[in-house]
Structures are given as structure tokens and as C-alpha cells.
Structure 1
Amino acid sequence: MYDPASPLLRSGSPAAGLPQPDAKARFAEDRLLDAVLWCEILPGETITESDVMDRFGLTRAAARAALTRLGYDGWAQPLARMGWQVLEVTGALVGEVLSARRLVEPAALAEARLDEAQLHEVRRTGQILAAVQHQPQTGARVAFRHFVDEIDSLLLSAIDPFTARHLRRLWHHSARITRYLEDAQAGHMFRRDDVFALVRALEARDADGVRAARAALIDAQETFFLRQMLKSQTALGPGSGLSERAGQAASNRRST
């Protein structure tokens, strides 16, 4: 479900309403990127300028610029005379994203220094999260994720901008992978159970607690991703080790 109010997503639209003329191009680019992140446009899907114009009401120039931006940022690749293919979700991508997060995220966020106003906001948000935590309605789940994003956004604002940009991109990948692998009808949804330990650690200014909470989150996401991927019927590709063993078995059968 697309949530334009998510604090982790950019918007070219000012608070007063429609984007101004000088912001329309960026608004179009960000809207298309958000559609990719929220799986409105599915991983592996091929889209054209005409598709983007029809789906999002963009001009041809805006659609072309938005698609070019996706390609430049690595979210899609051009296919000759076919359009642009959105980055697929693969086991390799999942592993690379999680490995990169393990290297950067726990240590970087443990160094975050929130001021008193930000800590007050963390406490307030933690109370809201506790109130909606066990409510089963779809709206409650959306609200829970939104307020978790608010805490993560506060943390990003309290670390150096270069690391924050890198982490934001990794979180975008993780969020897209999560949404793609979730199955709401079967009740297979990822829940951020780490957030309450994170709130306690932030309130206590406990750097080790923040580090542990983020490491636990990455471990939990890896477990969820693996569990969901094990349900896939997609054939494994080269590199899994199975193709080499299958070839060796065939060779043995021919020699007997």
C-alpha cells in the first residue's frame, strides 16, 4: 500500500498543496520511485514511457526524465525497444543489502545524538506504537509502520548526512523486499518487534542497546526473508551449487 506521508519518502509537493512549476519534474521522479519502492510497480516488471504517462498522469517529458532517474539510481535498466525493467528481487540482492546494513547500521545509529525535543518525540511515538501494536486492522498496521518510520527518520537526522543517505537507500531496498515478500492474505507480515527495545535504549541514551536493537532487526528481517523465499517455486540459478552437482550426477550416470 502506497503511503505518501511516510517520513522516509521524499515529496516534491509543498505542504500547501500542489507542486509549484519548478518542483513538478522532481515530484514526477519521486512519485515514480515511490511506486517502485511500494511495489505498485513490481520487481522485474517492464514499463514504458506510455505506461508511466497513463498510470501517473505525467507528460512524456516528465515520464522520460523519471525513468532515466530510476536507471541512474540503479532501480531499473533499459531494454532496447522494450522500455525499462525494474530491479528484480533476488537472493543475491537480499544478501548484499543485509550485509551492507550489518556493516553500517548498528554502529552508525548507536552514535546518534538526539536532543531533548527529539527524545520527547521518541517517547510520544513509542506510546502511540504501544497503543496500536496488537490491533489487527489494516489501518492499524499502516499506522504502526508510519510511526516506526518517524523514529527511524529522527535517527537519520541525528547522524552525519553522508551515512544517512547511504542508510536511507539501504532501508528503501529492505522496505521494497519486505513488501514484495509479504503475503497479507496468508497473514505473513513482517512486524518491527525491535522498536520498543530501540525506544527504551534511546530514552536511556544507551548506545549498546541501540546497537543491539538494530542488529536484532536485521537478523529478524533475514529470517523473514528466508522463510518467505523458501516458499518460492522459482528455479535456482547458477551459483547455488545445485547445477554443478546435477551435471556431475548426469556424467556419472553416463559412465555406468
Structure 2
Amino acid sequence: MMTFEQFMQYYKKEVERCMEHAVTATESDQKIEQSMIYSLGAGGKRIRPLLLLATIIAFDEKPQLGYQTAAAMEMIHTYSLIHDDLPAMDNDDYRRGKLTNHKVYGEATAILAGDALLTQAFELIACDTTLSGETRLQLVQLFAKSAGSNGMVGGQQADILGENRTLTLAELESVHRRKTGALLTASVLGGAIIAGVPKADQDILASFSNHIGIAFQICDDILDVIGDAKKMGKNNWWRF
């Protein structure tokens, strides 16, 4: 039986190995490849892929079935961070204690690297022959909806539009549910789909993960105001 720390360390390495192989196995432009690997290797908690794998394990299925899907989720998350740090968005110089992607590779390459990570994530799922075609289709649909205008992107847009006014509690919850919660929920549900979890149980998991997403974003917003930039590895309190 693994401890929580052992679980994190072991499966983080498996996901990171899968992501690196996915990027380096292609014939992409060298600068874009370097830019993609730079952000993928910048560290991070890997919460989303670990939630996906933990869900698979919780329902007594082999975690190896979820490696490519977990890697794909982290690639989608990393793309969002690259774009979120751009001057047109949060204009951050640092992410996880390192210079942000556009500060190292330039804005154009950073945008393209983000685009490449997003699209390659879906290729990774679609090409996973350890899963049935029906399972892959469900995962692609889930991740696309969660990352797009009905999910994370829509939440980011709502967050931008709400910067100069006071949001109602319902509006703020909607932003958090989409901007942060959507990918966390998709991670848990992705694991459930791979493990063949019944729809009724998936609904319970969706509710559980949605609350995690809201709590996670509340914590992040508080740290943006009172957190130590050196410990957090970024400086973005200027928005407040």
C-alpha cells in the first residue's frame, strides 16, 4: 500500500514521462518543442492527472490505462498557463519560480507552443489503443467541453470581464466553477469513464470535484493578495 507521498511521486513521474515522450516523438519545429518542454517541465503539483489516476485506482482498475489521458489533461492545463501569463492576459513574468514561457521564447512562440499542447493532447487520447474507441470518444468530448467556451475558456473570459466590477456570489461561483473547476471535474470524470463507473456514481463524483475546484480557486485568489511572491513563484498581485 502506497502512502500519499509515494503515490504522488510515483505517478507524477509516469505522467511526466508520458508527456515528454508525446512531445519529443513528433517532428515539430525545434523551438516550439523546446518551448513546450520548458513549460511542461516547470514543475507543478500535477493535481489534475493525479486526480484522474486516483479515481481509476479507487474503482479497482489499472492506472496504466489512464497514463495518456492524464498526460493529455496536464498538457491542456499547461497550455492554459502559457496563454494566461501572456501580456494580453495576466502579464506575468514568473510561473513556478521560473520565467514565463513568453519571457524566454517570445510571445509568438509561446502562443504556438500553447496551441500545440492543446491540440496534441487530443491526439494523445485519440491514439491510445489501450482504450476502446467509445471510451476515447467520451474522453475527447468531455475534455473539449471542459476546456472550451463552456468551461475553462468561458470562465477566463468571465473573469476578465469582471475585473473592474464587484461580482455577485453567483457570478463569482460561476467563474470559479468554469475557470478552475472545469478541468478538475473533467479529470475526475475522465478517470471514472476509463474505469467504467456507472452514470449515477459519475454524477456524485462531478459534485465532489466541482467543490474542489471552487475551493482551489478561492485559495488561489486569497494567496494572490496575501501570499509571498517568492514562495508562490509568481508575481500577479498587481491586479488587486
Q: TM-score, normalised by structure 2?
A: 0.31
Greater percentage in helix: 2
Higher-Rg member (1/2): 1
User: Which structure would you say has the larger RCO, counting Cα contacts within 8 Å and 6 or more residues apart?
Assistant: 2
Q: TM-score, normalised by structure 1?
A: 0.30
